[in-house]
Amino acid sequence: MSGQVTIERVESYLPEPSLRIEELGAHLGLKRAELGVFRKFYGLDTLRFDPELDLIDLLRPAARKALDSLPAGGRVGYLVYAHTTQAVAPAHVDMAQLIRDDLGLAGTEAFGLSHQACVSSLGGIDVVGELLRAEAPAGTYALMVTGEKAYSPIVQHVPNTAIMADAAAACLVTLDGAGDRVLSFATRTFGRYAAWLELSDERNHEFGQAYAARIAEIIHLAVAEAGLAFDDIDLVVPHNVNMLAWRQAIKELGVEPGRVFLDNVPRYSHTFSADVFVNYTTLREQGRLVPAGRYVLVSVGLGATFGAMVIEHHEVTGP
Q: How many helices (H) and strands (E) does the chain have?
A: 10, 13
Higher pLDDT, 172 or 197: 172
Q: What is the pLDDT of residues 220-279, one digit of tens each?
A: 999 999 999 999 999 999 999 999 999 999 999 999 999 999 999 999 999 999 999 999
Q: Give the closest residue to 158 by CA, choosing from 115, 193, 121.
A: 193
Whole-angstrom distance, CA of residue 236 vs CA of residue 310: 9
Contact 129, 172 (CB under 8 A): no
Higher pLDDT, 104 or 207: 104
Pairing of strands 294-301, 305-312: antiparallel
Tell me, rounded to whole angstroms, the distance of Cα 262 from its chain centroid. 14
CA 310 to CA 186: how far, in whole Å? Answer: 9
User: Is residue 5 within a helix (H) or strand (E), and if so which, with residue range?
Assistant: strand 5-13
The answer to whether 20 touches 38, Cβ cutoff 8 Å, is no
Within 41-152, residue ranges assigned H as helices are 55-67, 95-102, 120-135
Name residues whose C-beta falls within 8 Å of residue 174's C-beta, 6 or more positions apart in sequence.
5, 6, 8, 132, 139, 140, 141, 142
Residue 131 has pLDDT above 90, yes or no: yes
Task: State how far Cα 177 lies from the chain centre.
Answer: 22
- In the predicted structure, residue 197 carries a pLDDT above the cut 80: no
pLDDT reading at 1 higher than 70: no
Residue 151 has pLDDT above 90, yes or no: no
pTM for the full predicted model:
0.96
Report all structural domains of the chain as residue ranges with CATH numbers, in order of start. 5-175 (3.40.47.10), 180-312 (3.40.47.10)
User: Taking 70 as the threshold, does the pLDDT of residue 319 lie above it?
Assistant: no
pLDDT of residue 260: 98
Share of the chain above pLDDT 90, in %: 86
At 318 the pLDDT is 61
Gap between the terminal Cα atoms of the chain: 25
76 forms beta bridges with 141
| pLDDT greater than 60 at residue 196 | yes
* The pLDDT of residue 193 is above 60: yes
Q: Which pLDDT score is estimated for 136?
A: 96
Task: Give the model confidence (pLDDT) of 36-56 as tens digits.
Answer: 999 999 999 999 999 999 999
